[in-house]
């Protein structure tokens, strides 16, 4: 789920991630628009913070995930069914968390795995007073012949997001699939103009946009989480993109919004 765009939403934590997450552009007489990323879904949140983010905050979040069966891995879990690169010792886990919180270092990424599902977390600091965190999932996880597994993994994504926004002081977040997220500047100015498959509005944005207005938005899930509001118009949209239900929710909140659609080859129509 991606938020305030800028550094964390349009770039990824390492060279491999940059290559994998870079969106293709369609050349035409009109302005080119991004295709749905072929590799992972990205969720990032803008956090105006004071004091600076500390390893202890990240450690508490990791402990919450491990308490429900997740384990940290060294790099992407492989093989996904039973990874052999798990971090076992407290020393290894503590070092990985401290590395992930050190903005002077590269490849600051934490990979978490549980029963054939995995996601990753990444911190960035696009401006001195803003930290963004990104939660991303390899899109290949959603390609299953069994539709129940696909829905199960969509719920796993939502559960991981819910835990994170409960524990991190999150200002805003959105799942970016077919659409780029708003920029950091747009978010901090309250300039949010659409709903995405997953949306999180912190308490400041709730006051700016209007809590009652957001609470009444039609959605599969529309609940208070942490200090803000989590809105999921359609669970299926987490892996399908801009569904008619998401479009209807956008019309309710923001008036007409033009959906992006793709043909069978992933080309933007």
Whether the CB-CB separation of 265 and 231 falls below 8 Å is answered with no
What would the pLDDT profile of 109-155 be if each residue is shown by its tens digit? 999 999 889 999 988 888 877 888 888 887 777 766 566 788 888 99
What would the pLDDT profile of 72-123 be if each residue is shown by its tens digit? 999 989 888 899 999 999 999 999 999 998 888 887 899 999 988 999 998 8
pLDDT value of residue 2: 39
DSSP letter, residue 230: E
- Measured CA angle at 126 (ends 117, 241), to 5 deg: 40
**The 117-127 sheet, strands edge to edge:** 71-73, 109-114, 117-127, 130-138, 40-48, 172-176, 199-201, 228-232, 221-225
């Amino acid at each position: 789920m991606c938020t305030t765009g800028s550094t964390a939403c349009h770039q990824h934590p390492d060279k491999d991630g940059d290559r994998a997450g870079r969106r293709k552009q369609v050349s035409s007489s009109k302005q080119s628009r991004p295709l749905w990323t072929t590799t992972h879904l990205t969720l990032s949140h803008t956090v105006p913070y004071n004091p600076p983010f500390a390893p202890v905050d990240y450690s508490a979040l990791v402990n919450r995930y491990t308490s429900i069966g997740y384990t940290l891995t060294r790099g992407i879990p492989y093989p996904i069914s039973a990874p052999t690169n798990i971090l076992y010792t407290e020393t290894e886990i503590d070092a990985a968390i401290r590395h992930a919180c050190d903005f002077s270092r590269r490849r600051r990424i934490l990979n978490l795995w549980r029963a054939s599902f995995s996601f990753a977390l990444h911190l960035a600091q696009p401006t001195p007073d803003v930290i963004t965190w990104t939660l991303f999932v390899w899109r290949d996880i959603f390609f299953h012949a069994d539709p129940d597994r696909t829905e199960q993994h969509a719920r796993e994504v939502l559960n991981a997001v819910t835990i994170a926004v409960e524990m991190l002081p999150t200002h805003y977040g959105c799942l970016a699939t077919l659409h780029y997220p708003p920029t950091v500047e747009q978010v901090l100015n309250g300039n949010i103009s659409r709903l995405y498959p997953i949306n999180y509005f912190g308490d400041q944005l709730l006051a700016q946009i209007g809590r009652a207005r957001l609470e009444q938005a039609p959605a599969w899930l529309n609940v208070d989480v942490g200090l803000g509001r989590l809105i999921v118009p359609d669970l299926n949209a987490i892996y399908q993109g801009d569904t008619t239900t998401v479009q209807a929710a956008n019309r309710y909140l923001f008036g007409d919004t033009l959906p992006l659609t793709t043909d069978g080859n992933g080309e933007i129509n």
